[in-house]
Structure 1
Amino acid sequence: MAKGKKTKQAKGKTITLKMAQNCVQLALDGKRSLDLSFKEISTVPKCIQKLCDMDELDLSRNMIRKVPDFIEQFISICVLDLHSNYLEQIPATIGRLQNLMLLNLCNNRLTSLPSEIGLLKKLHTLNLGLNHLDALPASIGALKELRHIGLSDNRFTRVPGCLTRLDKLEKVNLDRNPIISEQSPSHESIAITERLYLVKESFLCGDCLNKCQTERKKLEDVEERKYDLIKHPLDYMMH
């Protein structure tokens, strides 16, 4: 390398309004989608504010570090895909996207979420997998239309309590989180969750419900025997 020259930091590509317009897709049902995925951009282009009448906005698989406040102008979108970027936070203005039904924030660097996310009353699917979250804002409990929430590969040590307030919730993905086992007598052992889904009893058939209740009773009996063995080891030795 020649002396006196400095290495330049890698910058994302620039998207012009004309380029963005060429990325607009029209579906058979008439919905319009702006697809800026795989564009190697590090910032959300300001020019797309002129295309805010979209139904869907895809900014996934880029190098975006910040979601600008002007995202609030996309009040018509029902799908916002921001997965696989470098996001560390989400602006409070996200709460103004009142028509949003699907929000994908998977594979970023989020450590927290704004409480305003609880304003997304029409949200059906929320994907937060592959982040650095260890808690959810209590306002998540206000998402009464939420059916699916992905929380895999985060830092949750327990199932977020706010999820119990979601009457329509059908599936919770908590794969590969350091969930603290509530069955442990000492509450010190940590179990890595491989498959953990929460469903309401009303979604289970009679046979499945009976099976779940039987398996739970077996686990309770095993833990009770372990506890007795710790407290009264001589009784077990004599038998």
Structure 2
Amino acid sequence: MNTLAQLKAGQLAGITRLDLSCGLTEFPREIFELADSLEILNLSGNALSKLPDDLHRLPHLRVLFCSDNRFTELPACLGQCAQLSMIGFKANQISHVPAAALPPRLRWLILTDNRIRELPSQLGERPLLQKLMLAGNQLAHLPQSLANCHNLELLRIASNRFTRLPDWLLALPSLTWLAYAGNPVETAVPMTDDEATVEIPWAELELAEILGEGASGVIRKALWKPAGKPVAVKLYKGTITSDGSPLHEMQACIAAGLHPNLIRIEGRVVGHPDGQAALVMDLIDPSYRNLAALPSLASCTRDIYPPHARFSLAVALRMARGIASVAAHLHRHGITHGDLYGHNILWNEAGDCLLGDFGAASFHATADTLETRALQRIEVRAFGVLLGELLERVEEPAGDALVALQKSCCQPDVLARPGFEEIEAILRSIQHP
């Protein structure tokens, strides 16, 4: 984190990224002195409500973060920034998004947790748009023009007011990761009854160290005293994340049930002193690790793998079978994962794998309707992307059948993609010594 004193003293000349979070109420004009180099500007966590009209004087600005401020509308000056492609205004008080605020190279727009009811039709005139995050607003529809956004891959519209998903949305050729939980269109679907879920009193848990933390909550190691076994406890936060509501995530985890490629849920915590929601889960063997890291600003929707990551074909095939199997299981239960990615998969050297993080999961009807089929085939594209990433890193030729399957999963005609049960059958038929 940089300081305002450093900026005013001219100590930051030549930097490409500036991070300032120090209670700012006005945009520091000294930032313009960095115009020759500045590409990423992060002003999140301040008290800003406007930006200067001449922001375009930062000609190299590609990324702007202004989350957790006091903006009531998306600043129109953004549209004049020729190189600006990523905009993040999460957790403000934005109710108006003017068309003038949309720069021509817009690729990634984050407006999570605001008060937006309408989006301008010009949003669909941004052909590079790839990632659109709108969870936690008051939207009941999307601009029809978004049907033209053939590069749109990730869409988050959870916790809004949608009563239906438009047909054009379900036919977008590149849409891969979709989250729509917490809308009337989803809550109209009968949910799995979780009355059978074991209730575990808070007093029965002895918490230990933190194992991990994400947007939706904190995972801690614990001892479940009556059972005498070590477990993991996920304590959910109550705030809206980029994917949606953490409480919807907990509901999806419970509804997913049992599968060898899912982390087993032992029960739901009751009696937390602060009323916090929590789940008790199996403790994962330390031999498991994340398959990939989160996408970067540059990769946008693509995971980052270690440069040395390589798999034998047998291990890659085992992982592909496991993920296809668990995805088919979820779809039979009326759940789309919404975030089927390498960074949400734990794996070990033998190719055993576990799919986690249900933060973007949504419920859909289990009847075989065109809408259900389309929602499931959108997730099939996510599997195709994952399979492609594995095949890029196998140590031996993958064979025509796997390559053909990967292409079939990613074809632009959504309903022409195979379902996960067909994918499972194809993967089973591929023999490997």
Residue deviations 1:86-107 (CA, integer Å, cap 9, x gap) = 1101111244x22221111111
Which residues of 2 match residues 6-85 of structure 1 at below 5 A? 13-18=25-30, 20-21=31-32, 32-46=39-53, 48-85=55-92
Taking the aligned partners of 2:419 and 2:163, their CA distance within structure 1 comes to 31
Which residues of 2 match residues 213-232 of structure 1 at below 5 A? none
Taking the aligned partners of 1:89 and 1:126, their CA distance within structure 2 comes to 16
Residue deviations 1:52-75 (CA, integer Å, cap 9, x gap) = 430111111100112232221112
Change (3 A) 1:211 1:56: closer
Taking the aligned partners of 2:24 and 2:152, their CA distance within structure 1 comes to 34
Contact (CA 8 Å) 2:77, 2:101: kept in 1 or not?
Answer: no
Indicate which of 155, 163, 174 corresponds to 2:180.
174
Identity %: 24
| Cα root mean square deviation, aligned | 3.1
Residue deviations 1:111-146 (CA, integer Å, cap 9, x gap) = 010000001101110000000001111011111000
Report the TM-score, using the length of structure 1 for normalisation: 0.68
Contact (CA 8 Å) 2:376, 2:419: kept in 1 or not?
Answer: no
Change (3 A) 1:98 1:200: farther
* Residue 100 (structure 2) aligns with: 93
Indicate which of 105, 119, 137 corresponds to 2:111.
105
Taking the aligned partners of 1:106 and 1:118, their CA distance within structure 2 comes to 18
Contact (CA 8 Å) 2:70, 2:93: kept in 1 or not?
Answer: yes
Taking the aligned partners of 1:207 and 1:133, their CA distance within structure 2 comes to 30
Unaligned runs of 5+ in 2: 1-22, 191-247, 253-360, 364-374, 384-404, 406-417, 425-433
Taking the aligned partners of 1:98 and 1:141, their CA distance within structure 2 comes to 17
* Residue 209 (structure 1) aligns with: 421
1:12 Cα deviation from its structure 2 partner: 7.1
Change (3 A) 1:199 1:74: farther
Q: Comparing both structures, which one devotes a greater share of its residues to strand?
A: 2
- Count of aligned pairs: 188
Contact (CA 8 Å) 1:94, 1:117: kept in 2 or not?
Answer: no
Taking the aligned partners of 2:94 and 2:67, their CA distance within structure 1 comes to 11
Taking the aligned partners of 1:79 and 1:167, their CA distance within structure 2 comes to 22
Contact (CA 8 Å) 1:133, 1:156: kept in 2 or not?
Answer: yes
- The answer to whether 1:138 aligns with 2:315 is no
Taking the aligned partners of 1:115 and 1:177, their CA distance within structure 2 comes to 22
Contact (CA 8 Å) 1:17, 1:47: kept in 2 or not?
Answer: no
Change (3 A) 1:44 1:210: same
Report the TM-score, using the length of structure 2 for normalisation: 0.39
1:23 Cα deviation from its structure 2 partner: 8.5
1:157 Cα deviation from its structure 2 partner: 1.4
Contact (CA 8 Å) 2:56, 2:82: kept in 1 or not?
Answer: no
Change (3 A) 1:132 1:44: same
Answer with 66-75 or 126-135: which moved more: 66-75
Contact (CA 8 Å) 2:54, 2:77: kept in 1 or not?
Answer: no
Change (3 A) 1:52 1:82: farther
